[in-house]
Structure 1
Amino acid sequence: MAHIHKKMKKGRPYYYVRETARVDGKPRVVNQVYLGSPERLLEMATFTGNIERLQVQEYGSLLLADLIEKEIGFAGIVDEVVGRDEKKTVPSIGEYFLYAVYNRMIDARSKRALPEWYKNTAIQHIRPVRAESLSSRHYWRMWERIDENGLRQVAEKLFSKLAAYRKISSECFLFDTTNYYTYMASDSESELARRGKNKEGKNWLRQVGVALLVSRDEKLPLYYQEYEGNRHDSKLFFNILDSVVAAMRNRVGTQAGLTIVLDKGMNSEDNMAILDSYNDIHFITTYSTYYAEELIQVKADRFRVVETEKNRRLAELGREDDRLSAWRTTGEYWGRKRTVVVTYNPLTATKQRYNFEKKLLRIQDSLFVMQDNVRRQKPHWRSKEQVQLRYEEVCAQLHLPDDLYTVELSQDQTRLHMNFRKNHYRINRYIDRFGKNILITDNMDWPTDDIVRASLDRYIVEEAFRQSKDDDLVSLMPLRHWTDSKIRCHILTCIVALAYLRILQIRLAEAGVAITASKAMDSMRTLHSCLVWQPRKRNPQRLIEEPDKLQAQILKAFGLKIKGGVLQDA
């Protein structure tokens, strides 16, 4: 049963609610809740049933974002570069960036929607600001005060701060590119927004490209570059290669034995020549199987299982046949002898074979329709050239070569005839590529397993890009900005949000909380604070709701806890 229990400490009474029960036949205290001093009890008694008004605000997620900012100080970096206005009536430029970063970390909204969003949060308690001052009009005015060079300086200082904060130890870096579409009108002037091959398939829209360099061990972004949407990856890499290498050296603080992991889109004679000119920089890149058929025709008995975490899990599940394997050789590429590793993934091969068979059936169905049109001598189906062109278009739409079927077109004195059959030799050669990937590196002394694992870790930067395209967190795309200067500011904001979310995940992992930053933010969004207005009291009282188990673990990772509705040091 429950009862009030009094304890005397230094002559003052303190009260508890105790719940007792019989355990093993003896009365024991099974639960105890601290109530406070007599004054606190009087306040609680007065408080009960005398609430004039309540206001519930989103608290936990904003608290997390602000805790990361206090450790990094991004707003201060911006103000250091741009300068802070002496008038304190409005936020500084750095604070404008920061409020946008917070929103991107939690629930990405347009600048027009920011004031309303912040009104429902505890921002006045965490980092006070007039929500009305965060309108899109104010953002455009403030962001006009920082130019491209200023943004470069801010990014450089930020990445240096991140490298020092986490003590970057990785000697391997991951580099990749992506693009983000925008609904910018065709007649709007822009050097960045151009039409190109969009990775979401929206080739009719203008797009902006972003290149990203990430440390392999810490998974932190340490360099980025926005670029024109129609520029090829290899040409971009050629232009920024010196900057990328400088970033790698500066972040680690060493010039010995650094490796950059690339995608095959960056391969070119010029780029590899530049990489070879650096004595301290090595590379691991992928290579197209279309240009090295001799490498993928190797018999399966030459492949050896690679030591990876996923392979270990598959072995524990009794799925040894699904494990990734590889074989190693050497070859001359880009004018020098390189190490070549060919990997084979049975799971990927199975998926590719399944999709390939479906596409082959679609080609066959199209060929039957074409054959019928030719037989019936329909208009536009009486010319060899036109029929052959239509067959090639069908293959191109399915991203398949046009030699998988042999199409025979013959013309006699009266009409055109068409026959077709599968080219089993070319089909089998094409199937041999499934599940296989070619890696080329100048790290001649690296073990095969290390080369494969480093290449597999390219998923880290790809994962960052996927996060940047998430509808809720970061949400760099679609770009709803119509000038290059605002696009650059928006991209920097999203890169900072990515970095902060990564730091959050690192902090949680170090505390033994193995969840993603996205899940942490989702959980903390449900931790609210409540403003309580009581009669005859001018200022409201702020209380924080009781955290659940996961929320308590997240707070503990930052050395905090909530007790009696108040945030305290753990």
Structure 2
Amino acid sequence: MVGKRIGGRVYYYLAESARVDGKPRVVGQRYLGTAEDIAAAMSGSAPAAAGARHRSFGDVAAVWGTLQRLDLIRRVDVVAGAQRARPTLGFHVALAVLHRATAPDTEFEQWWSGCAAQDLVRPRPPKGAITAANHQRALRRLSAERITGVEAAVAEAVRGLLGDDGTEALAVDVAQFAAFTAADCTLVGRDVLAGLGLVVTRDGAIPLASRVYRRSAAPTFGALAGELGGRYPDADVTLVFHAGQAAQLDLGARSGFVGALPLADHPELLARPAAGHRRVDPERFAGLTALDTRAIVDGVRRRVIVTHSDTLHAAQQRAFTDELSTAVRELDGLAAALAAGTHRGDRTQVRAEISRIIRGRRVERVLGTTLEGTRAGEIRLTRRVDDAAVARLGDEFFGKQVLVTDRDWPVAEVVTAYRARTHLESTFRWLTGAGPSARAEWTPHRIAVHTLVSVLAATVTHLMRREADRAGMNLSVAELLDQLCGIGETVLRHRSTGGRPRTRRILSDRTPRQQALYELFGLERYAPA
């Protein structure tokens, strides 16, 4: 132990000596403090901390570790070419993705100054180099060609990590991607609604390629899927569509698809008894059963799968009950107004009012009305709810979907492929938070950069979600990041005894699931010593 006198006080260090080139040298030292500090530590009464702050650790560390596995910084810098600026464009893109994935609702500079990223990211940027202005200036170097190159380079990394599992892909459409306030002077004050076409891996729904489009000039889904699928001619791309898109596609002449059909188009399938359904996968799809059969679709006999979800059934039952209650309440109000003479409309006007109230197709099936009288002021209304019709409606429609495919995959894999779009929509709602700021002027370039960062954040988080799923944790992206965010870090600041104040970082206690994620993503390498 050696002591150093600084400012009239003696501070002690634990010194480690060794011979270097045959001569004794100090090869390491550890600060111990003043004599009083050492005495307090020996007695078990170390000085109390002068302050503390808590910050999330697990989500930042896990996302950063995944970015390193994808080698994102180097790959972006290869696409960008020679650069004089430091930090490089690749570093700024990595920071943008890390920010979007872990704190999408915060301003960039606020996030950077208060999160654990400063202690984790490498190479460590020069002090003061990371500001919102510098960050935005760097991202402006993302030309259209570089954006395309970055997306392709990251997709190559993903497919490399997945190996044979990356050779099959899905083409999906996320119609509700974002709403931008246009910078075009002809569109001032108007929102530009944007959709997003994606090619994603079949295993994990990890984005590989994207195309943002204005919904007012949206391409047909078939054309969009063909364009995106053309970027991966070596992959087997399956088209995934929802019931509203089925009419755009000639399924009789198409191959390679999984989608939903409008329920009303196949009443004979919906009427099949529930006894014919089989459980799909109780662990992955709790309460889901399916009937795997055949039906004529667009003139061709196709494989169809009728699914029933207990969760969806309960949600649709609640929504229908609310809708029916509202209609009954309004009809009772109309009947009371007619009886009191405050509604003086003729029969035509009253029928129009009834049609407005029960305009929902399913409400019309269970709610009957009768009008008596012909002249204004004498018309009376009675209504009735057909309980048997309500029961039939629940048995035939609630909780059901009719999926169609030409793939011979197991039922669970068909359901997984169809639900990829739902998972992606949920992910983008999480990543974009409240959405792009309405105060900003969203030029085409800014929209392109925003889309790239969002897609890369989805790529990283879906890769993480796939790994968690393989470890037996079936979580959405939002649930996964919420669990990781719960692994917090407390930074304790001790009073200065000369020189810089000392700090100590400790991690919070973890639940069993958080501990499993901690081990799965190797977070111990980022943990404080």
Q: For this structure pair, what is the TM-score category when the shorter chain's length is used for normalisation?
A: 0.7 to 0.9
1:496 to 440, 445, 456: 456
Count of equivalent residues: 483
Tell me what 1:360 maps to.
324
Tell me what 1:118 maps to.
112
Distance 1:271 1:61 in 2: 44
Deviations 1:464-487 (A, max 9, x none): 4223323xxx23442114313223
Tell me what 1:306 maps to.
279
2:441 maps to 1:482: yes
- Call closer, same or farther: CA 1:229–1:532 in 2, change over 3 Å: farther
1:223 to 209, 220, 224: 209
Aligned CA-pair RMSD: 4.3
2:413 maps to 1:434: no
Deviations 1:208-265 (A, max 9, x none): 2233443343342233332224466xx5413311134335x55xx455xx54443223
2:306 to 342, 347, 350: 342
Tell me what 1:63 maps to.
61
Query: Does the Cα contact within 8 Å between 2:171 and 2:197 map onto a contact in 1?
Result: no
Pairs within 5 Å for 1:554-569: 556-557=519-520, 561=524, 566=529
2:172 maps to 1:175: yes
Q: Aligned letter for 1:224?
A: S
Query: Does the Cα contact within 8 Å between 2:171 and 2:225 map onto a contact in 1?
Result: no
Q: CA deviation at 1:369?
A: 1.5
Deviations 1:318-359 (A, max 9, x none): xxxxx5443344332223221222233455435533443343
Task: Report the secondary structure of 1:167's partner residue.
Answer: helix
2:381 maps to 1:419: yes
Q: TM-score scaled to structure 1, two decimals?
A: 0.70
Q: Aligned letter for 1:334?
A: D
2:466 maps to 1:466: no
1:286 to 242, 253, 260: 260
- Call closer, same or farther: CA 1:78–1:266 in 2, change over 3 Å: farther
Pairs within 5 Å for 1:65-464: 65-83=63-81, 85-88=83-86, 91-110=87-106, 113-125=107-119, 126-127=121-122, 128-129=124-125, 134-169=130-165, 171=168, 173=170, 175-180=172-177, 182=179, 184=181, 207-230=193-216, 235-246=219-230, 249=232, 253-255=234-236, 259-270=238-249, 272=251, 275-276=254-255, 282-301=256-275, 303-310=276-283, 324-346=288-310, 348-378=312-342, 381-396=344-359, 400-409=362-371, 412=374, 415=377, 417-422=379-384, 424=386, 427=390, 430-431=393-394, 432-443=396-407, 446=408, 450-451=410-411, 453-456=413-416, 458-464=418-424
Task: Report the secondary structure of 1:207's partner residue.
Answer: strand
Distance 2:429 2:433 in 1: 6
- Call closer, same or farther: CA 1:371–1:559 in 2, change over 3 Å: closer
Distance 1:230 1:136 in 2: 33
Distance 1:561 1:47 in 2: 34
Identical aligned residues as a percent: 15
Task: Report the secondary structure of 1:272's partner residue.
Answer: coil
Q: CA deviation at 1:287?
A: 0.9
Task: Report the secondary structure of 2:151's partner residue.
Answer: helix
Q: CA deviation at 1:136?
A: 4.4
Deviations 1:490-528 (A, max 9, x none): 22212222222233345566778887631453134x225
Higher mean displacement: 59-68 or 42-51 = 42-51
Task: Report the secondary structure of 1:545's partner residue.
Answer: strand
- Call closer, same or farther: CA 1:387–1:123 in 2, change over 3 Å: same
- Call closer, same or farther: CA 1:383–1:546 in 2, change over 3 Å: closer
Higher mean displacement: 78-87 or 96-105 = 78-87
- Call closer, same or farther: CA 1:401–1:187 in 2, change over 3 Å: farther
> Which runs of 5 or more structure 2 residues have no equivalent in the other structure?
1-16, 19-25, 39-46
Query: Does the Cα contact within 8 Å between 1:530 and 1:544 map onto a contact in 2?
Result: yes
- Call closer, same or farther: CA 1:267–1:131 in 2, change over 3 Å: farther
Deviations 1:373-428 (A, max 9, x none): 3344446x5144433333333234x6745454344457635656243444748656
Q: Aligned letter for 1:173?
A: L
- Call closer, same or farther: CA 1:261–1:362 in 2, change over 3 Å: same
> Which runs of 5 or more structure 1 residues have no equivalent in the other structure?
1-10, 13-37, 196-205, 277-281, 314-322
